[in-house]
Structure 1
Amino acid sequence: MKGIILAGGSGTRLSPSTDGINKHLLAVYDKPMIYYPISILMLGGIKDIMIISTKDDQERFKALLGDGSALGISLTYEHQIEPNGIPEALIIGEKFIGKDDVTLILGDNIFYGQGFTNLFRRAIKNHEHATIFGYRVKDPKRFGVVEFDQNQKVLSLEEKPEEPKSDFAVTGLYIYDHHAAKIARKLTFSARGELEITDVNREYLKKGQLDVQLLGRGFAWMDAGTHESLFEASEFIKNIQDRQGFKLACLEEIAFYLRYISKEALYKKGKSMEKNDYGKYLMEIANRKHNQQYWESIDRDPVLGLVENE
Protein backbone atom coordinates (compact mmCIF):
# COMPACT_ATOMS: atom_id res chain seq x y z
CA MET A 1 0.00 0.00 0.00
CA LYS A 2 1.29 3.43 -1.00
CA GLY A 3 0.18 6.72 0.51
CA ILE A 4 -0.40 10.08 -1.17
CA ILE A 5 -1.02 13.36 0.62
CA LEU A 6 -2.44 16.17 -1.49
CA ALA A 7 -1.04 19.35 0.04
CA GLY A 8 -1.26 21.71 -2.91
CA GLY A 9 -3.94 24.22 -3.76
CA SER A 10 -3.89 28.00 -3.76
CA GLY A 11 -4.84 28.47 -0.09
CA THR A 12 -7.10 31.41 -0.86
CA ARG A 13 -9.56 30.52 1.90
CA LEU A 14 -6.81 31.20 4.45
CA SER A 15 -5.44 34.35 2.84
CA PRO A 16 -3.54 36.47 3.90
CA SER A 17 -2.03 33.84 6.22
CA THR A 18 -1.14 31.71 3.22
CA ASP A 19 0.08 34.47 0.90
CA GLY A 20 3.68 33.51 1.67
CA ILE A 21 3.39 29.89 2.79
CA ASN A 22 1.52 26.69 2.01
CA LYS A 23 -1.45 26.25 4.36
CA HIS A 24 -0.34 22.72 5.21
CA LEU A 25 2.73 24.18 6.89
CA LEU A 26 0.63 26.35 9.20
CA ALA A 27 0.39 25.19 12.80
CA VAL A 28 -2.61 23.29 14.09
CA TYR A 29 -1.91 24.12 17.71
CA ASP A 30 1.64 22.82 18.33
CA LYS A 31 2.66 21.14 15.08
CA PRO A 32 2.38 21.71 11.32
CA MET A 33 -0.88 20.70 9.68
CA ILE A 34 0.93 18.21 7.44
CA TYR A 35 1.84 16.12 10.52
CA TYR A 36 -1.79 15.04 10.92
CA PRO A 37 -2.30 13.26 7.57
CA ILE A 38 1.21 11.77 7.78
CA SER A 39 0.32 10.35 11.19
CA ILE A 40 -2.83 8.72 9.78
CA LEU A 41 -0.89 6.98 7.02
CA MET A 42 1.84 5.87 9.44
CA LEU A 43 -0.72 4.42 11.85
CA GLY A 44 -2.26 2.57 8.92
CA GLY A 45 1.08 0.85 8.41
CA ILE A 46 1.93 2.83 5.27
CA LYS A 47 5.63 3.68 5.03
CA ASP A 48 5.99 4.78 1.39
CA ILE A 49 4.39 8.23 1.08
CA MET A 50 4.30 10.91 -1.62
CA ILE A 51 3.54 14.53 -0.72
CA ILE A 52 2.13 16.62 -3.55
CA SER A 53 2.39 20.37 -3.08
CA THR A 54 2.96 23.47 -5.17
CA LYS A 55 6.31 23.86 -6.89
CA ASP A 56 7.23 26.86 -4.72
CA ASP A 57 6.48 24.97 -1.50
CA GLN A 58 8.14 21.68 -2.35
CA GLU A 59 11.50 22.69 -0.88
CA ARG A 60 9.80 23.88 2.32
CA PHE A 61 8.28 20.45 2.86
CA LYS A 62 11.63 18.82 2.19
CA ALA A 63 13.29 21.14 4.72
CA LEU A 64 10.70 20.18 7.33
CA LEU A 65 10.48 16.44 6.74
CA GLY A 66 13.49 15.38 4.67
CA ASP A 67 13.30 11.97 3.03
CA GLY A 68 11.44 10.47 5.98
CA SER A 69 14.35 8.31 7.14
CA ALA A 70 14.40 10.06 10.52
CA LEU A 71 10.92 8.59 11.03
CA GLY A 72 11.69 5.21 9.53
CA ILE A 73 9.55 5.91 6.46
CA SER A 74 10.13 7.02 2.87
CA LEU A 75 8.92 10.43 1.68
CA THR A 76 8.98 11.55 -1.93
CA TYR A 77 7.76 14.82 -3.35
CA GLU A 78 5.96 16.00 -6.47
CA HIS A 79 4.30 19.27 -7.36
CA GLN A 80 0.98 20.27 -8.83
CA ILE A 81 1.27 23.06 -11.42
CA GLU A 82 -2.33 24.20 -11.00
CA PRO A 83 -4.96 23.14 -8.44
CA ASN A 84 -6.97 21.05 -10.90
CA GLY A 85 -8.81 18.93 -8.36
CA ILE A 86 -8.22 15.97 -6.05
CA PRO A 87 -8.03 13.27 -8.77
CA GLU A 88 -4.98 14.99 -10.22
CA ALA A 89 -3.04 13.63 -7.25
CA LEU A 90 -3.67 10.12 -8.62
CA ILE A 91 -2.47 11.17 -12.07
CA ILE A 92 0.66 12.83 -10.70
CA GLY A 93 1.36 9.79 -8.55
CA GLU A 94 0.62 7.17 -11.20
CA LYS A 95 4.20 5.90 -11.54
CA PHE A 96 4.64 6.06 -7.76
CA ILE A 97 1.54 3.91 -7.28
CA GLY A 98 2.54 1.38 -9.92
CA LYS A 99 0.66 -1.88 -9.31
CA ASP A 100 0.08 -1.18 -5.62
CA ASP A 101 -3.06 -0.04 -3.86
CA VAL A 102 -3.05 3.55 -2.65
CA THR A 103 -4.51 5.58 0.19
CA LEU A 104 -5.12 9.21 -0.73
CA ILE A 105 -5.66 11.76 2.03
CA LEU A 106 -6.18 15.50 1.85
CA GLY A 107 -3.54 17.47 3.69
CA ASP A 108 -5.99 19.61 5.65
CA ASN A 109 -8.12 16.74 6.97
CA ILE A 110 -7.80 15.73 10.64
CA PHE A 111 -9.26 12.52 12.06
CA TYR A 112 -9.60 11.61 15.72
CA GLY A 113 -11.40 8.90 17.61
CA GLN A 114 -11.19 5.82 19.78
CA GLY A 115 -10.27 2.83 17.67
CA PHE A 116 -9.61 4.79 14.49
CA THR A 117 -6.28 3.05 13.88
CA ASN A 118 -7.86 -0.39 13.96
CA LEU A 119 -10.79 0.72 11.83
CA PHE A 120 -8.42 2.19 9.25
CA ARG A 121 -6.13 -0.84 9.23
CA ARG A 122 -9.08 -3.19 8.79
CA ALA A 123 -10.33 -1.07 5.91
CA ILE A 124 -6.92 -1.32 4.24
CA LYS A 125 -6.73 -5.07 4.84
CA ASN A 126 -10.26 -5.86 3.68
CA HIS A 127 -10.77 -3.48 0.80
CA GLU A 128 -10.80 -4.88 -2.73
CA HIS A 129 -11.25 -1.95 -5.09
CA ALA A 130 -12.31 1.36 -3.51
CA THR A 131 -13.27 2.42 0.00
CA ILE A 132 -14.45 5.84 1.14
CA PHE A 133 -15.13 7.03 4.69
CA GLY A 134 -18.48 8.48 5.72
CA TYR A 135 -18.99 10.86 8.63
CA ARG A 136 -22.35 11.99 10.04
CA VAL A 137 -22.86 15.76 9.70
CA LYS A 138 -25.59 18.14 10.82
CA ASP A 139 -25.98 19.83 7.42
CA PRO A 140 -25.34 17.29 4.66
CA LYS A 141 -26.43 19.80 2.00
CA ARG A 142 -22.97 21.36 2.30
CA PHE A 143 -21.09 18.16 1.48
CA GLY A 144 -20.76 15.27 -0.88
CA VAL A 145 -23.22 12.73 0.50
CA VAL A 146 -23.06 8.93 0.40
CA GLU A 147 -26.13 6.66 0.51
CA PHE A 148 -25.54 3.04 1.48
CA ASP A 149 -27.30 -0.19 2.40
CA GLN A 150 -27.11 -2.28 5.59
CA ASN A 151 -23.93 -3.96 4.32
CA GLN A 152 -22.22 -0.60 3.78
CA LYS A 153 -22.37 -1.03 0.01
CA VAL A 154 -22.71 2.35 -1.61
CA LEU A 155 -25.99 3.01 -3.42
CA SER A 156 -25.46 6.60 -4.56
CA LEU A 157 -23.20 9.63 -4.34
CA GLU A 158 -24.45 13.20 -4.51
CA GLU A 159 -22.57 16.49 -4.43
CA LYS A 160 -24.23 19.07 -2.14
CA PRO A 161 -27.77 17.73 -2.72
CA GLU A 162 -30.89 19.76 -1.97
CA GLU A 163 -32.56 16.65 -0.53
CA PRO A 164 -29.79 14.41 0.89
CA LYS A 165 -30.44 10.66 0.92
CA SER A 166 -28.36 10.30 4.07
CA ASP A 167 -26.61 12.52 6.60
CA PHE A 168 -23.18 10.99 5.99
CA ALA A 169 -20.61 13.18 4.24
CA VAL A 170 -17.66 11.77 2.29
CA THR A 171 -14.40 12.68 4.03
CA GLY A 172 -11.02 13.42 2.45
CA LEU A 173 -9.68 9.89 2.93
CA TYR A 174 -9.85 7.33 0.12
CA ILE A 175 -8.45 3.84 -0.47
CA TYR A 176 -8.12 2.71 -4.09
CA ASP A 177 -6.71 -0.13 -6.13
CA HIS A 178 -4.08 0.64 -8.77
CA HIS A 179 -6.72 1.35 -11.44
CA ALA A 180 -7.61 4.70 -9.82
CA ALA A 181 -5.01 6.68 -11.78
CA LYS A 182 -6.32 5.35 -15.11
CA ILE A 183 -9.85 6.30 -14.08
CA ALA A 184 -8.68 9.79 -13.12
CA ARG A 185 -6.98 10.25 -16.50
CA LYS A 186 -10.28 9.72 -18.31
CA LEU A 187 -12.17 12.39 -16.35
CA THR A 188 -13.28 15.70 -17.85
CA PHE A 189 -13.40 18.99 -16.01
CA SER A 190 -16.59 19.84 -14.16
CA ALA A 191 -18.51 23.13 -14.24
CA ARG A 192 -16.21 24.24 -11.40
CA GLY A 193 -13.23 23.86 -13.70
CA GLU A 194 -11.80 20.92 -11.73
CA LEU A 195 -11.50 17.17 -11.88
CA GLU A 196 -13.90 15.80 -9.25
CA ILE A 197 -13.06 12.96 -6.87
CA THR A 198 -16.78 12.14 -6.80
CA ASP A 199 -16.48 11.15 -10.46
CA VAL A 200 -13.68 8.70 -9.60
CA ASN A 201 -15.85 7.19 -6.88
CA ARG A 202 -18.82 6.97 -9.25
CA GLU A 203 -16.78 4.93 -11.72
CA TYR A 204 -16.12 2.37 -8.99
CA LEU A 205 -19.77 2.56 -7.98
CA LYS A 206 -20.91 1.73 -11.53
CA LYS A 207 -18.90 -1.49 -11.31
CA GLY A 208 -20.23 -2.34 -7.85
CA GLN A 209 -16.76 -1.87 -6.42
CA LEU A 210 -17.25 1.00 -3.96
CA ASP A 211 -17.55 0.41 -0.21
CA VAL A 212 -18.01 2.89 2.60
CA GLN A 213 -16.53 2.71 6.08
CA LEU A 214 -18.59 4.71 8.54
CA LEU A 215 -17.07 6.85 11.28
CA GLY A 216 -19.68 6.74 14.01
CA ARG A 217 -20.13 8.40 17.37
CA GLY A 218 -16.90 9.19 19.16
CA PHE A 219 -15.07 10.18 15.99
CA ALA A 220 -14.14 13.68 14.93
CA TRP A 221 -13.40 14.76 11.38
CA MET A 222 -12.16 18.27 10.72
CA ASP A 223 -11.24 20.15 7.56
CA ALA A 224 -8.80 22.86 8.69
CA GLY A 225 -9.08 24.82 5.46
CA THR A 226 -10.67 28.05 6.74
CA HIS A 227 -9.73 30.49 9.49
CA GLU A 228 -12.64 29.30 11.62
CA SER A 229 -11.99 25.58 11.15
CA LEU A 230 -8.23 26.03 11.66
CA PHE A 231 -8.89 27.76 14.98
CA GLU A 232 -11.44 25.13 16.01
CA ALA A 233 -9.04 22.31 15.12
CA SER A 234 -6.24 23.92 17.13
CA GLU A 235 -8.53 24.38 20.10
CA PHE A 236 -9.72 20.78 19.82
CA ILE A 237 -6.16 19.42 19.69
CA LYS A 238 -5.10 21.57 22.65
CA ASN A 239 -8.04 20.41 24.77
CA ILE A 240 -7.45 16.72 24.04
CA GLN A 241 -3.72 16.98 24.73
CA ASP A 242 -4.17 19.00 27.93
CA ARG A 243 -6.79 16.64 29.32
CA GLN A 244 -5.23 13.32 28.36
CA GLY A 245 -1.55 14.15 28.64
CA PHE A 246 -0.33 12.82 25.31
CA LYS A 247 0.17 14.48 21.95
CA LEU A 248 -1.80 13.81 18.80
CA ALA A 249 0.03 13.31 15.50
CA CYS A 250 3.44 13.25 17.16
CA LEU A 251 5.32 11.59 14.31
CA GLU A 252 8.44 10.72 16.30
CA GLU A 253 6.37 9.07 19.01
CA ILE A 254 4.44 7.03 16.46
CA ALA A 255 7.68 5.99 14.75
CA PHE A 256 9.09 4.90 18.12
CA TYR A 257 6.10 2.81 19.16
CA LEU A 258 5.89 1.26 15.71
CA ARG A 259 9.58 0.41 16.22
CA TYR A 260 10.69 2.39 13.19
CA ILE A 261 13.22 4.37 15.25
CA SER A 262 15.23 3.68 18.39
CA LYS A 263 14.84 5.15 21.86
CA GLU A 264 18.17 6.90 21.32
CA ALA A 265 16.96 8.54 18.11
CA LEU A 266 13.77 9.64 19.85
CA TYR A 267 15.70 11.19 22.71
CA LYS A 268 18.12 12.93 20.36
CA LYS A 269 15.23 14.52 18.46
CA GLY A 270 13.66 15.66 21.71
CA LYS A 271 16.97 17.05 22.93
CA SER A 272 17.18 19.24 19.82
CA MET A 273 13.92 20.89 20.91
CA GLU A 274 14.35 20.69 24.68
CA LYS A 275 13.31 24.31 25.23
CA ASN A 276 9.73 23.63 24.17
CA ASP A 277 7.03 21.22 25.33
CA TYR A 278 7.24 19.08 22.19
CA GLY A 279 10.92 18.31 22.74
CA LYS A 280 10.42 17.69 26.45
CA TYR A 281 7.58 15.31 25.60
CA LEU A 282 9.81 13.23 23.30
CA MET A 283 12.56 13.08 25.93
CA GLU A 284 10.05 12.00 28.57
CA ILE A 285 8.85 9.12 26.39
CA ALA A 286 12.40 8.04 25.63
CA ASN A 287 13.27 8.06 29.34
CA ARG A 288 10.18 6.14 30.41
CA LYS A 289 11.00 2.72 31.84
CA HIS A 290 9.42 -0.35 30.27
CA ASN A 291 8.06 1.80 27.47
CA GLN A 292 6.50 -0.77 25.18
CA GLN A 293 4.95 -2.83 27.99
CA TYR A 294 3.42 0.30 29.51
CA TRP A 295 1.97 1.41 26.21
CA GLU A 296 0.48 -1.97 25.37
CA SER A 297 -0.90 -2.47 28.87
CA ILE A 298 -3.23 0.51 28.56
CA ASP A 299 -4.01 -0.06 24.87
CA ARG A 300 -3.22 3.48 23.83
CA ASP A 301 -3.08 4.50 20.23
CA PRO A 302 -0.04 6.83 19.91
CA VAL A 303 -1.99 9.58 18.18
CA LEU A 304 -5.70 9.01 18.27
CA GLY A 305 -6.53 7.98 21.82
CA LEU A 306 -7.60 4.66 23.26
CA VAL A 307 -7.74 1.70 20.93
CA GLU A 308 -8.75 -1.91 21.34
CA ASN A 309 -6.18 -4.65 20.83
CA GLU A 310 -5.68 -5.74 17.24
Structure 2
Amino acid sequence: MKGVVLAGGLGTRLYPLTKVTNKHLLPVYNQPMIYYPIQTLVNAGITDILIVTGGNSAGDFLKLLGNGKAFGLKHLNYTYQEGEGGIADALSLAEDFADGDPVCVILGDNIIEGNICRAVRAFRHQGSGAKILLKKVPDPQRFGVPELDGPRIVRIEEKPKEPKSDYAVIGIYMYDADVFNIIKTLKPSARGELEITDVNNIYIERGEMTWDELEGWWTDAGTFDSLLRASNLVAQTGANKLDLGDKGVRSEREVTSGVKA
Protein backbone atom coordinates (compact mmCIF):
# COMPACT_ATOMS: atom_id res chain seq x y z
CA MET A 1 0.00 0.00 0.00
CA LYS A 2 1.17 3.50 -0.83
CA GLY A 3 0.60 6.64 1.23
CA VAL A 4 -0.72 10.01 0.08
CA VAL A 5 -0.60 13.14 2.26
CA LEU A 6 -2.87 15.92 0.99
CA ALA A 7 -1.28 19.23 1.99
CA GLY A 8 -2.59 21.77 -0.51
CA GLY A 9 -5.17 24.49 -0.08
CA LEU A 10 -4.79 28.13 0.86
CA GLY A 11 -5.50 27.82 4.60
CA THR A 12 -7.71 30.91 4.56
CA ARG A 13 -9.21 30.09 7.97
CA LEU A 14 -5.75 30.59 9.48
CA TYR A 15 -5.02 33.93 7.80
CA PRO A 16 -2.76 35.89 8.46
CA LEU A 17 -0.63 32.96 9.67
CA THR A 18 -0.88 31.49 6.19
CA LYS A 19 -0.15 34.72 4.35
CA VAL A 20 3.50 33.76 3.92
CA THR A 21 3.47 29.98 4.36
CA ASN A 22 1.40 26.85 3.77
CA LYS A 23 -0.88 25.83 6.65
CA HIS A 24 0.77 22.42 6.89
CA LEU A 25 4.14 24.00 7.66
CA LEU A 26 2.84 25.77 10.77
CA PRO A 27 4.02 24.40 14.12
CA VAL A 28 1.92 22.01 16.19
CA TYR A 29 3.65 22.08 19.57
CA ASN A 30 7.24 21.10 18.72
CA GLN A 31 6.99 19.93 15.10
CA PRO A 32 5.69 21.20 11.76
CA MET A 33 2.11 20.07 11.17
CA ILE A 34 3.07 17.96 8.13
CA TYR A 35 5.29 15.75 10.30
CA TYR A 36 2.31 14.18 12.06
CA PRO A 37 0.44 12.64 9.09
CA ILE A 38 3.71 11.41 7.58
CA GLN A 39 4.57 9.69 10.87
CA THR A 40 1.08 8.16 10.97
CA LEU A 41 1.75 6.46 7.64
CA VAL A 42 5.29 5.38 8.56
CA ASN A 43 4.06 3.88 11.84
CA ALA A 44 1.63 1.75 9.82
CA GLY A 45 4.45 0.39 7.68
CA ILE A 46 3.72 2.64 4.68
CA THR A 47 6.99 4.03 3.39
CA ASP A 48 6.24 4.87 -0.26
CA ILE A 49 4.66 8.30 0.25
CA LEU A 50 3.49 11.14 -1.98
CA ILE A 51 3.03 14.71 -0.72
CA VAL A 52 0.39 16.65 -2.66
CA THR A 53 0.80 20.36 -2.08
CA GLY A 54 0.00 23.67 -3.77
CA GLY A 55 0.01 27.44 -3.36
CA ASN A 56 3.04 29.71 -3.24
CA SER A 57 5.04 27.81 -0.60
CA ALA A 58 5.22 24.40 -2.25
CA GLY A 59 9.01 24.54 -2.50
CA ASP A 60 9.28 24.88 1.26
CA PHE A 61 8.07 21.28 1.68
CA LEU A 62 11.13 20.06 -0.18
CA LYS A 63 13.38 22.28 1.97
CA LEU A 64 11.79 20.93 5.14
CA LEU A 65 11.27 17.27 4.29
CA GLY A 66 13.89 16.47 1.68
CA ASN A 67 13.77 12.74 1.04
CA GLY A 68 12.23 11.95 4.41
CA LYS A 69 15.39 11.18 6.36
CA ALA A 70 13.77 12.44 9.59
CA PHE A 71 11.24 9.58 9.27
CA GLY A 72 13.73 6.89 8.33
CA LEU A 73 12.73 7.09 4.66
CA LYS A 74 15.03 6.90 1.67
CA HIS A 75 12.73 8.82 -0.66
CA LEU A 76 9.67 11.10 -0.70
CA ASN A 77 7.54 11.94 -3.74
CA TYR A 78 5.96 15.33 -4.43
CA THR A 79 3.30 16.69 -6.76
CA TYR A 80 1.55 20.03 -7.17
CA GLN A 81 -2.17 20.84 -7.18
CA GLU A 82 -3.11 23.93 -9.13
CA GLY A 83 -6.02 25.95 -7.75
CA GLU A 84 -8.65 24.80 -5.28
CA GLY A 85 -10.18 21.69 -6.82
CA GLY A 86 -11.06 19.84 -3.62
CA ILE A 87 -9.78 16.75 -1.84
CA ALA A 88 -10.81 14.30 -4.56
CA ASP A 89 -9.12 16.48 -7.19
CA ALA A 90 -5.93 16.48 -5.13
CA LEU A 91 -6.09 12.71 -4.78
CA SER A 92 -6.49 12.31 -8.55
CA LEU A 93 -2.93 13.62 -8.91
CA ALA A 94 -1.68 10.46 -7.21
CA GLU A 95 -2.88 8.08 -9.95
CA ASP A 96 0.49 7.61 -11.65
CA PHE A 97 2.21 7.35 -8.27
CA ALA A 98 -0.23 4.65 -7.11
CA ASP A 99 0.36 2.66 -10.31
CA GLY A 100 -2.44 0.21 -9.57
CA ASP A 101 -1.69 -0.23 -5.87
CA PRO A 102 -4.10 0.60 -3.03
CA VAL A 103 -3.56 3.91 -1.25
CA CYS A 104 -3.91 5.20 2.29
CA VAL A 105 -4.84 8.89 2.10
CA ILE A 106 -4.47 11.28 5.02
CA LEU A 107 -5.28 14.96 5.16
CA GLY A 108 -2.23 17.01 6.09
CA ASP A 109 -3.82 18.65 9.12
CA ASN A 110 -5.01 15.42 10.76
CA ILE A 111 -3.25 14.52 14.00
CA ILE A 112 -3.96 11.42 16.08
CA GLU A 113 -2.89 10.21 19.50
CA GLY A 114 -2.44 6.61 18.43
CA ASN A 115 -1.96 4.76 15.18
CA ILE A 116 -3.78 3.12 12.28
CA CYS A 117 -1.76 -0.10 12.14
CA ARG A 118 -4.69 -2.42 12.65
CA ALA A 119 -6.91 -0.61 10.16
CA VAL A 120 -4.21 -0.79 7.49
CA ARG A 121 -3.73 -4.52 8.08
CA ALA A 122 -7.48 -5.06 7.91
CA PHE A 123 -7.73 -3.20 4.62
CA ARG A 124 -4.87 -5.20 3.14
CA HIS A 125 -6.78 -8.35 4.14
CA GLN A 126 -10.00 -6.83 2.72
CA GLY A 127 -8.25 -6.71 -0.63
CA SER A 128 -10.48 -4.25 -2.48
CA GLY A 129 -13.02 -1.49 -2.01
CA ALA A 130 -12.52 1.19 0.63
CA LYS A 131 -12.17 1.73 4.37
CA ILE A 132 -12.64 4.94 6.35
CA LEU A 133 -11.97 5.82 9.97
CA LEU A 134 -14.64 7.36 12.20
CA LYS A 135 -14.51 9.13 15.55
CA LYS A 136 -17.26 10.21 17.93
CA VAL A 137 -17.30 14.00 18.27
CA PRO A 138 -19.46 16.55 20.14
CA ASP A 139 -20.06 18.62 16.99
CA PRO A 140 -20.55 16.21 14.04
CA GLN A 141 -22.32 18.89 11.99
CA ARG A 142 -18.87 20.33 11.21
CA PHE A 143 -17.81 17.18 9.36
CA GLY A 144 -18.90 14.42 7.05
CA VAL A 145 -21.31 12.31 9.10
CA PRO A 146 -22.17 8.63 8.46
CA GLU A 147 -25.68 7.26 8.77
CA LEU A 148 -25.25 3.81 10.31
CA ASP A 149 -27.41 0.69 10.18
CA GLY A 150 -25.68 -1.65 12.61
CA PRO A 151 -22.18 -2.22 11.24
CA ARG A 152 -23.11 -0.87 7.81
CA ILE A 153 -22.75 2.71 6.59
CA VAL A 154 -25.88 3.73 4.70
CA ARG A 155 -24.63 7.09 3.45
CA ILE A 156 -22.35 9.97 4.39
CA GLU A 157 -23.71 13.50 4.58
CA GLU A 158 -21.36 16.47 4.41
CA LYS A 159 -21.85 19.00 7.25
CA PRO A 160 -25.52 18.11 7.89
CA LYS A 161 -27.71 20.44 9.93
CA GLU A 162 -29.26 17.40 11.62
CA PRO A 163 -26.55 14.71 11.89
CA LYS A 164 -27.77 11.11 11.76
CA SER A 165 -25.01 9.95 14.13
CA ASP A 166 -22.42 11.44 16.45
CA TYR A 167 -19.54 10.14 14.35
CA ALA A 168 -17.31 12.21 12.11
CA VAL A 169 -15.48 10.89 9.07
CA ILE A 170 -11.92 11.83 9.91
CA GLY A 171 -9.43 12.58 7.16
CA ILE A 172 -7.93 9.10 6.80
CA TYR A 173 -9.16 6.99 3.89
CA MET A 174 -8.05 3.74 2.24
CA TYR A 175 -8.95 2.93 -1.35
CA ASP A 176 -8.25 0.35 -4.02
CA ALA A 177 -6.96 1.53 -7.39
CA ASP A 178 -10.50 2.00 -8.74
CA VAL A 179 -10.75 5.25 -6.75
CA PHE A 180 -9.12 7.09 -9.64
CA ASN A 181 -11.77 5.87 -12.08
CA ILE A 182 -14.45 6.97 -9.62
CA ILE A 183 -12.96 10.46 -9.33
CA LYS A 184 -13.12 10.81 -13.12
CA THR A 185 -16.93 10.38 -12.96
CA LEU A 186 -17.47 13.12 -10.35
CA LYS A 187 -19.03 16.49 -11.02
CA PRO A 188 -18.07 19.58 -9.00
CA SER A 189 -20.20 20.35 -5.96
CA ALA A 190 -21.95 23.66 -5.30
CA ARG A 191 -18.65 25.06 -4.05
CA GLY A 192 -16.92 24.06 -7.28
CA GLU A 193 -14.87 21.18 -5.86
CA LEU A 194 -14.65 17.43 -6.34
CA GLU A 195 -15.80 16.06 -2.99
CA ILE A 196 -14.25 13.08 -1.23
CA THR A 197 -17.68 12.41 0.33
CA ASP A 198 -19.01 11.66 -3.16
CA VAL A 199 -16.19 9.15 -3.64
CA ASN A 200 -17.03 7.46 -0.34
CA ASN A 201 -20.75 7.31 -1.14
CA ILE A 202 -20.05 5.53 -4.43
CA TYR A 203 -18.11 2.85 -2.56
CA ILE A 204 -20.99 2.63 -0.06
CA GLU A 205 -23.54 2.20 -2.87
CA ARG A 206 -21.42 -0.62 -4.27
CA GLY A 207 -21.33 -2.35 -0.88
CA GLU A 208 -17.54 -2.02 -0.82
CA MET A 209 -17.02 0.29 2.17
CA THR A 210 -15.91 -0.77 5.65
CA TRP A 211 -15.06 1.38 8.65
CA ASP A 212 -13.16 1.34 11.91
CA GLU A 213 -13.40 3.62 14.93
CA LEU A 214 -10.21 5.41 15.91
CA GLU A 215 -9.20 5.14 19.55
CA GLY A 216 -7.49 7.95 21.40
CA TRP A 217 -7.94 11.57 20.48
CA TRP A 218 -8.08 12.98 16.98
CA THR A 219 -8.10 16.56 15.78
CA ASP A 220 -7.65 18.51 12.62
CA ALA A 221 -5.72 21.77 12.80
CA GLY A 222 -7.39 23.97 10.23
CA THR A 223 -8.74 26.72 12.49
CA PHE A 224 -7.21 28.82 15.24
CA ASP A 225 -9.11 26.85 17.88
CA SER A 226 -8.23 23.42 16.48
CA LEU A 227 -4.60 24.43 15.91
CA LEU A 228 -4.35 25.44 19.57
CA ARG A 229 -6.16 22.28 20.66
CA ALA A 230 -3.80 20.13 18.59
CA SER A 231 -0.73 21.75 20.16
CA ASN A 232 -2.13 21.31 23.66
CA LEU A 233 -3.05 17.66 23.08
CA VAL A 234 0.39 16.83 21.68
CA ALA A 235 2.05 18.63 24.59
CA GLN A 236 -0.07 16.75 27.13
CA THR A 237 0.00 13.21 25.74
CA GLY A 238 2.18 13.02 22.65
CA ALA A 239 0.98 11.85 19.24
CA ASN A 240 1.40 8.86 16.91
CA LYS A 241 1.85 6.41 19.74
CA LEU A 242 2.33 2.78 18.74
CA ASP A 243 1.28 1.37 22.10
CA LEU A 244 -2.18 2.96 22.35
CA GLY A 245 -4.94 0.49 23.15
CA ASP A 246 -5.50 -2.34 20.70
CA LYS A 247 -3.45 -0.92 17.84
CA GLY A 248 -5.36 2.33 17.79
CA VAL A 249 -8.65 1.30 16.20
CA ARG A 250 -11.77 -0.78 16.75
CA SER A 251 -13.52 -2.52 13.89
CA GLU A 252 -17.15 -1.72 13.04
CA ARG A 253 -18.26 -5.08 14.39
CA GLU A 254 -16.53 -4.51 17.71
CA VAL A 255 -18.06 -1.05 17.98
CA THR A 256 -21.62 -2.16 17.23
CA SER A 257 -21.38 -5.27 19.44
CA GLY A 258 -19.74 -3.38 22.29
CA VAL A 259 -16.86 -5.84 22.72
CA LYS A 260 -13.15 -5.80 21.96
CA ALA A 261 -11.69 -8.59 19.86
* Kept in 2: contact 1:4–1:89 (CA 8 A): no
Give the CA deviation at 1:118. Answer: 3.5
SS for the counterpart of 1:154 is strand
1:237 maps to 2:238: no
Shift of 1:119: 2.8
1:141 aligns with 141
Query: For residues 84 and 225 of structure 2, what CA distance do their matches in structure 1 show?
Result: 22
**In the alignment, which residue of structure 2 is the partner of 1:13?**
13
Alpha-carbon shift at residue 37 of structure 1 (Å):
0.3
**Mapping of residues 151-162 of structure 1, within 5 Å:** 152-162=151-161
The aligned counterpart of 1:108 is 109
1:238 counterpart SS class: helix
Greater shift in the superposed pair: 171-180 or 70-79: 70-79
Partner of 1:203: 202
- Against the structure 1 CA distance between its residues 306 and 201, is the aligned structure 2 distance closer, same or farther, given a 3 Å change threshold? closer
The 2-side partners of 1:89 and 1:179 are apart by 16
Percentage of identical aligned residues: 46
Aligned mates of 2:222, 2:53 — CA distance in 1: 15
| RMSD of aligned Cα (Å) | 1.9
Deviations 1:31-90 (A, max 9, x none): 000000001110111111010111532221111111225622431111111121000122
Q: What is the CA deviation profile of residues 231-267 of structure 1, one whole-angstrom value per residue up to 9, with x for unaligned ones?
A: 11111111114xxxxxx45xxxxxxxxxxxxxxxxxx
Determine if the alignment matches structure 1 residue 93 to structure 2 residue 90.
no
Q: CA deviation at 1:138?
A: 1.3
Paired with 1:189 and 1:309, the residues of 2 have a C-alpha distance of 37
The within-5 A match list for 1:170-249 is 170-215=169-214, 218-241=215-238, 248=239
Give 2:118's aligned residue: 119
1:47 and 2:44 correspond: no
> Structure 1 residues 104 and 148, CA, compared in 2 at 3 Å: closer, same or farther?
same
What code does the residue aligned with 1:191 have? A
In the alignment, which residue of structure 2 is the partner of 1:299? none
Instruction: Determine which structure has the larger helix proportion and give its number.
Output: 1
Query: d(CA) in 2 for partners of 1:64 and 1:208?
Result: 41
Contact persistence 2:89–2:193 (CA under 8 A): no
Moved more, 196-205 or 116-125: 116-125
Judge conservation of contact 1:123–1:213 (CA < 8 Å) in 2: no
Could you tell me how far 1:211 is from its partner in structure 2?
1.1
Aligned length: 246
SS at the partner of 1:6?
strand
- Give the SS at the match of 2:56: coil
Which range moved further: 223-232 or 53-62?
A: 53-62
Give structure 1 regions of 4+ aligned residues with deviation exceeding 4 angstroms. Answer: 307-310
1:192-235 deviations in whole A, cap 9, x for unaligned? 111110100111111111111122xx521101001111111111
Instruction: Identify which range, 201-210 or 139-148, moves more after superposition.
Output: 139-148
| 8 Å CA contact 2:145, 2:167 repeated in 1 | yes
2:89 and 2:132 mapped to 1: Cα distance? 17
Structure with higher Rg: it is 1
Q: Deviations over 1:129-165 (max 9, x none)?
A: 1011111111222221112333x33212112223322
Distance 1:174 1:89, change over 3 A: same
Shift of 1:188: 0.8
Hey, what does 1:296 align to over in structure 2?
none
Give ranges in structure 1 of 5+ residues lacking alignment.
Answer: 242-247, 250-302
Contact 2:10–2:55 (CA<8 Å) still a contact in 1? no
TM-score, length-scaled by structure 2: 0.88
**What TM-score, normalized to structure 1?**
0.75
CA distance in 2: counterparts of 1:7 and 1:186, whole angstroms: 23
Alignment CA distance shift 1:173-1:306 (3 Å): closer
> How much has 1:305 moved relative to structure 2?
4.5
Q: How does 1:269-280 map to 2 (within 5 A)?
A: none
